[in-house]
Structure 1
Amino acid sequence: MATIEKLRPEQLEMATHDAGESSNTIHGRATAGREHSRSFTQALRKDPKLLFWIFVMIWTLITRGFENQSSGSVISIAAFKQEFGQSALNGGANGAAIIGAFAASYFADKFGVKPVILAFAALNMVSVGIEFASISIGMYLAGKLLNFIAIGAFLNLCTAYVADIAPLAIRSSCIGFCNLAQCIGPFISAIMSNFTSTWASSWSWKALICAQWGFCTIAFIALWFLPESPVYLIRANKVDSARKSLQRLYSDSSDAEGHFELIQATIEEAEAQKKASYVECFRGTNLRRTLIAILVFQSEAYSGLGFIGNYGALMYQYLGISDSESFKIQIGAQILSISGALTAMIIGDFFGRRPMYITGCAALVVLLICMGISGSINNVAAATASVGFLTMFNFVYNAGVGSIVYTLAGEIPTSVLRQKTLAIAISASAVSNTFWSFVSPYIYNPGYGDLKAKIGFIFGACMVFFLITAYFYVPETRRRTYEELDELFMSHVSARKFKKHVTVAEQRAYEAYDIVEAKEGRGASI
């Protein structure tokens, strides 16, 4: 952290006057400086109200993880295997998520985050009802498609909202919680499917669908009281409403006002502030930011996540594991997923985004290649090893790539294009997941490619590409305000130099912090 020479109060007053900055601007920059000075534990304790609303958004995302896991579990239940096709269900659902992501971004810019996410929460509840009451494949598929439209919207809006309001010192942990939520859902689904899969009636799969009402109903009620996004309100020139929203988020009124000024300054200086369209995501320096967000989200699909999530239970059975044992292993796998996501949350704000992502890619390369090698050997020990590697994927993925993808994609875009950039990145990932949903069964299934665990070679090779591109193009965003990130991208700083580059915005934040501290008679210590 930079060191700023202390000045006497009268000198600081003169510096403020000479810089031509208003007291409001100084206050906003001082807030950025204060954010830089806070430790992880200080930020964690500072604003319980803010953390509560972050938790509400994250709770909403549990539905996505539960639905994803249930989709894979349902097609592995004996009573369901022959009646419903695999690819049409999973591939079509991924395509529906694209519609939801784009629709959410478009309507949130016009009407705000709160009314839009409430509308999609209502759609979520209705779609679960359609799935539950299904009497034909067409009706079930219609319900699932509507459900994934809502889920695509949740993924966009929740990630963007958390990224907008999360404190600087714990921003990675907060955004990474979006991934943890999607690990909790599958864990609960895996436990349920372990018991219901042996039932002979239609409740063997309907119970998994019905359980979603618990998550989405609680989310719908809580979202009624959600403070509107202050970024949206400031962009819409609803100044009084923005201040009220920030007062509900921050415990200290001075902090709330400081963040108002900081958000306002960031938006005013953001690139393409008056043309927040999808086209702007591909113009100027925004193109680089959009491509990075797409890149990191693509690694989600090409790591094999969709394959393991949708067909993991079947894969265990093809490796010689019984139906009942495969569901039990899934429970252990989801415990590993949660453990990995928790690990990423703990270390993300200490070690940085870039090293975590690069290390995560490297670890997946090793794991997937090892799985491919074990799958090439035809004996019981090799099959057991393949099961182990397939299960360990859950920890390795979530401890690195899985969690940090959300942090990077949430932090990289400029504030006025965050939702749109996320919509593009999420949609590109959904397209890739759709591709793998259709192709994977023909690669690993007996009677087709019959690769089984050797499919690890394919995904391992894909992750080599992401490992190399990450080294050159994925920057470090830890402890950077959005104003600083805007400056770094507009100055065309190399991704490998982001960490050590001292920005003008950073220097001004420290100076403003000294000014405010001196005026209040406390001195400055940065």
Structure 2
Amino acid sequence: MARKSQDGLAEPDDEVALDRLRSMKEEHQLSPWDVVRNYPALVWWAFFFAVSAVGWGFDAQVNGAVISVPEFRRKFGYIYEGEPTIPAAWLSAFNMISSVGQFVGGFLCSIIADRLGRRWGLAVGVVFSCGGIFGEIFSAVRPAFLISKLILGVGLGFYLTIGPLYCSEISPVVLRGITTAGVNLGIVVGQLLSNAAIRGFGGRNDSWAYRGPFAVQFFFIAFFAIGLPFSVESPWYLVHRNDLDGARHALQRLYGRNTNIEVKLKAIQTTVAEELALPESSWVECFQGTNLIRTGISTGVFICQHFTGIIFVISFSTYFFELAGLPTSDSFSLGVGVTACGLVGNILSWVVISSYGRRKIFLTGMISLTICLLLIGILDVVPTNAANWTQASFTVVYCFIYQITIGSVAFVLLGEVSSPRLRAKTTALATAVQSVFGIAMNIAVPYMVNPDAGNMRGKVGFVFGGLALWATVVSFFYIPELKGRTFDEIDTMFAKRITPRKMGRYMIDEDSS
């Protein structure tokens, strides 16, 4: 109960506490359907920014899928044992150069998003991406193609940073898991569109067999170019810039004219005021005190993704099917099937995450993916056509499990674990870690599977199965359960140094009383 002064009015500290309680209570009382029905503008703009992940997913998939196009291999490769083949060194370069650009783009996006806003962050990313796509389409030699992919990678670094950042900031707690998981849905949709484009163009006998899929990416450019001028800036950013009128206007646009947004604005102001009372945030702060744990979890979930072999199983799936001895047309179709099953899994993840939380789903996914990888490795030892098809089937199962579990939950945890004060920087660090491990895996995997190098084929499953097992053990101790928690509650638990694996059972209300 609030304290009263002699004139009967609540004292300022109590007013702040009451505002927080009101805002927290309002959020906890909402259901996902309430948000969709009553705040369509909020849902639309969360979707709009999440589409940035579609562009990232498209490029990530087309990197590996375009290798399965014979015309691409003839243009940028050489003839090895009668078949067009791209040298392992160049194959690694083609796939890792985009991650180098993403590493740079993630940090640039953090700076621009903090200084100019989330909308400008996305706009700059669109410009970089547009230039890179032009280069990919019209490059005639390997070096020019690599430079184009580097420029595109910078834009994709903006995409992958701004999507989860914006969605986590504008979403009510009941919708936060769905919208941040929606970023991963965007990635999967991009992968599906990429494989569909490869399936549609890949059989051509001219340069548009590979140029066509690259050109499809202009759809995303047009989508953002049309929508960005009308988009809503993040209220959190505007309050940070002390633009209260702008924040009030943004909240009104997100929640509608019939909603009293003053309580929400005051809650944001209070949280931001506490942050601004501290020294200006720095990159070093991400690695100090409890922020070190928060940064470790936010970035570690993406390391887990790479340790489960996501680059090998999904990005190189079509090429892997060809190397396993399946016909080219069947390999294209299976590549589409892999991403289609992933799309279904990601949509189902919205229900699963809302019902079962974060920790249980993440750990279940890690265990299941480890088993899948080991089975893929074992089946590669069996020299039969049936084993090849079974092995291919396990990649489809893998993709479904991945997207319904760690593929989606990683983005949810990134949006929840990172502190509001350091969220842009933490998101940039997560993008950087994603890029660094993407570079490492895109260098290593071609040397493992390419016919003129390691030629390990499905035996790579043993390598990633071992890495996934180790990551599962670490995840058990560090993955928290944050379902239904507001940012205030999450901050409180980390400030009190509650062990991450025990956060799901921690009672905030009892402690406060």
TM-score range, shorter chain: over 0.9
CA distance in 2, matches of 1:48, 1:247: 12
1:280-311 deviation line (CA, Å, top 9, x unaligned): 10111111100111110111211111223332
Q: One-letter code of the match for 2:358?
A: R
Does the aligned pair in 2 maintain the 1:231–1:263 contact within 8 Å?
yes
Are 1:289 and 2:294 matched, yes or no?
yes
When normalised by structure 1's length, the TM-score is 0.90
The alignment status of 1:483 with 2:509, answered yes or no, reads: no
Q: 1:470 to 1:269 in 2, by over 3 A?
A: farther
Does structure 2 retain, via aligned residues, the 8 Å contact 1:344–1:398? yes
RMSD of Structure 2 on Structure 1 (CA): 2.3
Structure 1 segment 365-444 matched on structure 2, within 5 A: 365-444=370-449
Verify the 8 A CA contact 2:252 2:259 in the aligned structure 1. Answer: no
- Look up the match of 1:43: 35
* Residue in structure 2 matching 1:279, options 270, 280, 284: 284
- Letter of the 1:57 counterpart: F
Q: Match of 1:225? A: 230
Q: 1:189 is matched with which residue?
A: 194
2:197 touches 2:213 (CA, 8 Å); kept in 1?
A: yes
Give the corresponding residue for 1:32: 24
| d(CA) in 2 for partners of 1:12, 1:100 | 52
The CA distance in 1 between the partners of 2:249 and 2:501, in whole Å, is 40
Residues of 2 paired with 1:329 and 1:226: CA distance? 38
SS in 2 for 1:450: coil
Amino acid corresponding to residue 69 of structure 1 in structure 2: Q
Q: In structure 2, what residue type is equivalent to 1:76? A: S
Structure 1 spans left out of the alignment, 5+ residues? 1-6, 509-526
1:240-274, Cα deviation, whole Å (9 max, x unpaired): 11111111111255452222112222223349843
Cα contact 1:270–1:414 (8 A) shared by 2: no
Assess if the C-alpha contact under 8 Å between 1:487 and 1:505 holds in 2.
Answer: no
Tell me the distance in 2 between the aligned counterparts of 1:446 and 1:313.
Answer: 15
- Distance in 2 (CA, whole Å) between partners of 1:241 and 1:373 is 59
Taking a change above 3 Å as real, the CA distance of residues 283 and 505 of structure 1, as seen in their structure-2 partners, is farther
CA distance in 2, matches of 1:209, 1:319: 26
Letter in 1 for 2:491: D
- Asked if the contact 2:4–2:11 (Cα under 8 Å) also holds between the matched residues in 1, the reply is no
**Residues 483 and 505 in structure 1, CA contact (< 8 A), matched pair in contact too:** no
CA shift in 2, pair 1:335/1:235, >3 Å: same
Q: Which residue of 2 aligns with 1:173?
A: 178
Deviation for aligned residue 1:343: 1.2
Q: Secondary structure at the residue paired with 1:108?
A: helix
Change in CA separation of 1:272 and 1:457 when aligned onto 2, cut-off 3 Å: farther
Name the CA distance, whole Å, in 2 between partners of 1:115 and 1:11.
44
Distance 1:93 1:501, change over 3 A: same
1 CA distance for matches of 2:109 and 2:431?
Answer: 12
Which of 148, 153, 156 is the equivalent residue of 2:153?
148
Q: How does 1:197-276 map to 2 (within 5 A)?
A: 197-251=202-256, 254-270=259-275, 273-276=278-281
CA contact (8 A) 1:175 1:406 kept: yes
CA contact (8 A) 2:55 2:159 kept: no
Give the 3-state SS of the residue equivalent to 1:476 in structure 2.
Answer: coil
Q: Say if 2:96 and 2:442, in contact at 8 Å, map to a contact too.
A: yes
Partner amino acid, structure 2, of 1:245: A
Counterpart selection for 1:78 from 70, 77, 83: 70
Please give the secondary structure, in 2, of the residue aligned with 1:21.
helix
> 2:55 maps to which residue?
63
- 1:366-424, Cα deviation, whole Å (9 max, x unpaired): 11111111112222222221111122221111010100000001110110211111111
2-structure distance, mates of 1:123, 1:349 = 35
Q: Which amino acid aligns with 2:70?
A: A
Name the SS of the counterpart of 2:230 in structure 1. coil
Q: Matches of 2:14 and 2:185 in 1, distance apart?
A: 42
* TM-score normalised by the chain length of structure 2: 0.92
d(CA) in 2 for partners of 1:272, 1:288 = 22
For the residues of structure 2 that align with 1:11 and 1:282, how far apart are their CA atoms? 38
1:112-131 matched pairs, under 5 angstroms: 112-131=117-136
- Given the superposition, is the C-alpha separation of residues 137 and 322 from structure 1 closer, same or farther in structure 2, using an over 3 Å criterion? same
Q: Which moved more, 1:147-156 or 1:136-145?
A: 136-145
Distance 1:123 1:12, change over 3 A: same
Q: Report the secondary structure of 2:436's partner residue.
A: helix
**Range with bigger deviation, 443-452 or 336-345:** 443-452
Contact 1:38 1:169 in 2 (8 A): yes
Q: Is the 8 A contact 1:173 1:349 kept in 2?
A: yes
Which amino acid in the other structure matches residue 492 of structure 2? E
Contact kept, 8 Å, 1:25 with 1:261, in 2: the verdict is no
Question: Deviation digits for residues 326-381 of structure 1, max 9, x if unmatched?
Answer: 10111111110101111111211121011111111111011111111111222222
Distance in 2 between residues matched to 1:272 and 1:120, nearest whole Å: 32
Given candidates 104, 118, 122, the residue that maps to 1:99 is: 104
- 2-side partners of 1:62 and 1:142: how far apart? 22
User: Quick one: higher RCO (CA 8 Å, sep 6+), 1 or 2?
Assistant: 1
How many residues are treated as equivalent by the alignment? Answer: 500
Following the alignment from structure 2 to structure 1, what is the Cα–Cα distance between the partners of residues 193 and 166?
25
Partner residue, 1:352: 357
Give distance in 2, aligned partners of 1:227 and 1:318.
47
